[in-house]
Amino acid sequence: MSKTILVTGPDLDPAAVALAKEHGFDLVHTPAYAESAVISEHLQASGAVGIVSRMGRIDAEVMDAAPQLRAISKHGVGVDNIDLAAAAARGIPVLVASGANAVSVAEHAIALMLAAVKRLLPLDAGLRAGRWDKPGFAGRELDGATMGLMGMGAIAQATGRMAQGLGLTLVGFDPYAPDSVFEALGVTRCETVDELLARSEVLSLHCPLTPDTREMLNAESIAKMPKGAYVVNTARGGLIDEPALVAAIRSGHLAGAGLDTFASEPPAADHIFFQEPAIVLTPHIGGVTRQAGARVGVEAVRGIIQIVAGDEVPQSRIANRKLLADAPAFANVEK
Ligand SMILES: NC(=O)C1=CN([C@@H]2O[C@H](COP(=O)(O)OP(=O)(O)OC[C@H]3O[C@@H](n4cnc5c(N)ncnc54)[C@H](O)[C@@H]3O)[C@@H](O)[C@H]2O)C=CC1
Ligand SMILES: O=C(O)C(=O)COP(=O)(O)O
C-alpha cells in the first residue's frame, strides 16, 4: 500500500511534516484552490491513501478517482468543502481537529471586532494620506455592549471569554449545545435566531456552513438587529448574503463588519466588500498562526496515520460518524 498523503494547498507545519516522515509517509501537494478535477489527478498520480483538506472541494468525483483512499483529514474544523455523505458511503472517515485552532480564530474575531468598531483602517489610511481625522470623530465604547454568539462551539467559547475580558455581555444561540455550555461561560441562551439577532450589538458568527445556516444573515434577518450593530464573521462567508450586508451598512442600519471569510475564496478583484470602508477584511487567516498551524497540522496527519494503521480514533473527531454508522460495509477500499 502507498504511504502518501495529498495536501490540498500549501505546506503543513514542520511538526506535521516531521510526524508524517517518522511514520514513513510522503506528503504531496495540489496547488492552492485547485478544482476537483485537479485534485483527482493528483490523487490518481500519487496513489495517496489520505487527504489533508485545506482548499478546494472534496466531492464524490474526487473520491471515485481514488479507490485506495482511506481517510480525509480536515486541516481544521469546517467540513463544508467535503461531501460527508459521499465519504461515508465509501467507508471513508472525515476527521476534524476540533478546538486545535480555536484560540487563534477567537483572537482574530476580537481583532476584527476592535478594528471595525474603532475604525482603525480608515483612520490609519487617512493619516497616511495627510489627514488628521479627529474633528467630528465619535467612536464607541464596547464595555457594557452585548455580543451575540451564533454557535457555541470551541471558537465561540474562546471568543466569548476574551470578549468578557473587554466588558461585553454575552448571549448565544446553538440548538445543539447543552445548557451547561452556556452556564459555564455565563452566556444567556437565546431560544431563537431572531432573539439572538435582536439582542446583538456585535454579532459574531461561529456555526458551521450547512443548508440550515447558508445566508442566515440576509436583508430580512439583518433588519432584526439593533441599529448601529456590527457583524464579525470568522466562520464561513456563505453564512452571509454579501450584497445585503453591504446594503445594510450603506443604509446606516449596521455600523460595520469584520470579515475573515468570503462566500467564494479567493474573492474576485472587484468584490463588493472592497468598496465599503466600514468593512475590515482578512484573507481567511484566522487559524493561520504558527501555534494553531502546528496543532492542526499534527492532528490532521496523525488522524490519517491512525486510520491507515487500523488504530482507534476518538468518535468526536470523526465528522461523518453518524453517516458512517448507517453506511453499508465498504467494499471498494484496499485494506
Ligand atoms: N477563519 C478560520 O480560519 C476558521 C474558521 N472556522 C469556522 O468556524 C466554525 C466553528 O468552528 P468551531 O467553533 O471550532 O466548531 P465547533 O464544532 O466546536 O462548534 C460549532 C458549533 O456550531 C453549532 N451549530 C451547528 N449548527 C448550528 C446552527 N444551525 N445554529 C447555531 N449553531 C449551530 C454546533 O452545535 C457547535 O456547537 C467552523 O465550522 C468553521 O467553518 C474554523 C476554524 C478556522
Ligand atoms: O478550520 C477551519 O475550518 C479552517 O477554515 C482552517 O483553515 P486553514 O486550513 O487553517 O487555512
Report DSSP letters for 42-83, one per residue.
HHHHHT-SEEEE-SS-B-HHHHHT-TT--EEEESSS--TTB-
* Local confidence band at 331 (pLDDT 50, 70, 90 cut-offs): very low
Does 313 score more than 60 pLDDT? yes
Judge if the beta carbon of residue 78 lies within 6 A of ligand 2.
yes
Looking at residue 333, its pLDDT comes to: 39
Does 285 score more than 70 pLDDT? yes
Looking at residue 335, its pLDDT comes to: 34
Exposed / middle / buried, residue 54 (Cβ in 10 Å: 0-12, 13-18, 19+): buried
Which domains are present in the chain?
4-96+290-326 (3.40.50.720), 102-281 (3.40.50.720)
Looking at residue 132, its pLDDT comes to: 98
CA atoms within 13 A on the CB side of 178: 2
Among the listed residues 52, 36, 33, 54, the one whose alpha carbon sits nearest the alpha carbon of residue 44: 36
Owner of C-alpha cell 453591504: 246
Residues pairing with 102 in the sheet: none
Q: Three-class SS of residue 170?
A: strand
236 is catalytic: yes
Residue with the bigger pLDDT between 13 and 332: it is: 13
pLDDT in tens, 121-161: 999 999 999 999 999 999 999 999 999 999 999 999 999 99
Looking at residue 171, its pLDDT comes to: 99
Cβ atoms of 171 and 146 within 8 Å: the answer is yes
| Alpha helices by DSSP H, the chain | 14-22, 36-46, 60-64, 84-89, 102-117, 120-128, 154-165, 179-185, 193-199, 219-222, 242-250, 290-309, 321-326
- Ligand nearest 292 Cα, by number? 2
* Local confidence band at 1 (pLDDT 50, 70, 90 cut-offs): confident
- Ligand nearest 234 Cα, by number? 1
Judge if the beta carbon of residue 97 lies within 6 A of ligand 1.
no
Distance CA 116, CA 257 (A): 6
Distance CA 86, CA 45 (A): 22
Looking at residue 190, its pLDDT comes to: 98
Percent of the chain with pLDDT over 90: 96
- Cα–Cα distances (Å) from 244 to 6, 258, 269, 273, 307, in that order, read 38, 15, 19, 11, 43
pLDDT in tens, 252-279: 999 999 999 999 999 999 999 999 999 9
Distance CA 271, CA 266 (A): 10
Cβ atoms of 237 and 153 within 8 Å: the answer is no
The rounded mean pLDDT for the chain is 96
Residue nearest to atom 25 of ligand 1 (CA): 207
Residue nearest to atom 44 of ligand 1 (CA): 287
Residues near 101 by Cβ (< 8 Å), separated by ≥ 6? 76, 77, 155, 286, 287, 289, 292, 295, 296
Please tell me the distance between residue 77's alpha carbon and the centre of ligand 1 in angstroms.
Answer: 7
Classify each residue of 108-131 as buried b or exposed e, where b means 16 or more C-beta atoms within 10 Å of its C-beta. Answer: bbbbbbebbbebebebeebeeeee
Rounded to an integer, the average pLDDT of 211-240 is: 98
Out of 296, 298, 301, mutate this one to test ligand 2's pocket (max ligand atoms within 8 Å of CB): namely: 296
Judge if the beta carbon of residue 109 lies within 6 A of ligand 1.
no
Does 282 score more than 60 pLDDT? yes
Residues near 177 by Cβ (< 8 Å), separated by ≥ 6? 152, 153
* Local confidence band at 2 (pLDDT 50, 70, 90 cut-offs): confident
Rounded to an integer, the average pLDDT of 198-216 is: 98
Please tell me the distance between residue 293's alpha carbon and the centre of ligand 2 in angstroms.
Answer: 9
Q: Three-class SS of residue 281?
A: strand
* Local confidence band at 329 (pLDDT 50, 70, 90 cut-offs): low
Which residue out of 57, 161, 284, 321 is catalytically annotated?
284
Sheet with 94-95, edge to edge strand ranges: 26-30, 4-8, 50-53, 71-74, 94-95
Which residue out of 42, 90, 199, 236 is catalytically annotated?
236
